[in-house]
Amino acid sequence: MELATKKSLDRYLVTASITISSLWISLASAQCAPGIPTAGNPGCIPPDQTSSPYYQGDNAQQQMSIQPPPVWADRWGAIAIDSDVGQAGVIANIPSRNEATDIAVKTCQKNGGQDCKVELTYHNQCAAIAWGTNSHVVSNAPYIDTVKANAMRACSQRTQDCKIVYSECSYAVRVQ
């Protein structure tokens, strides 16, 4: 009796498993559009088919290719220095060259400079000041590490005890 019940139960489980598998395949197949190859995935409808939820029309590829290019706005920086008294005025990330130079000169004057002169204007890059015992150097380059190294190298060729006293970048910003 016990053996008969076990065989009966095994047969029931196999039948139930086959039935569930058949039902799953039937449900998955029902979502496929007729005539579309399934490549082993019966729930897959290619996105270029009208029955796909991702279908965007016949000109979707053309629409994607005519996206406008990004629009960037320049950003300016300036360095003004009064070498006689050792004062500087600096500014970064300003939309126009004229505004950047005006702010740098005014900042230099506020810091105690009387004969402040713009030594560098730059846009979409970085700038640095290296100051030593008897001289200073301003430099600009695309990257902060590069501009610091360039300023230190040039300063060290002129004087001793050079240090980076200012470094900043003014990179373009995307506006569209």
Which of 5-9, 41-45, 124-128, 169-173 comes out lowest in average pLDDT? 5-9
Q: How many whole angstroms separate alpha carbon 113 and alpha carbon 166?
A: 17
pLDDT band at 51 (very low <50, low <70, confident <90, very high): confident
The two tokens of residue 95 are 């939309």
Chain CA centroid to CA 155, Å: 33
pTM above 0.75, yes or no: no
Chain CA centroid to CA 38, Å: 38
Residue 4 pLDDT > 90: no
Residue 142 pLDDT > 80: yes
Domain ranges of the chain: 73-174
pLDDT band at 75 (very low <50, low <70, confident <90, very high): very high
Q: How many whole angstroms separate alpha carbon 73 and alpha carbon 142?
A: 16
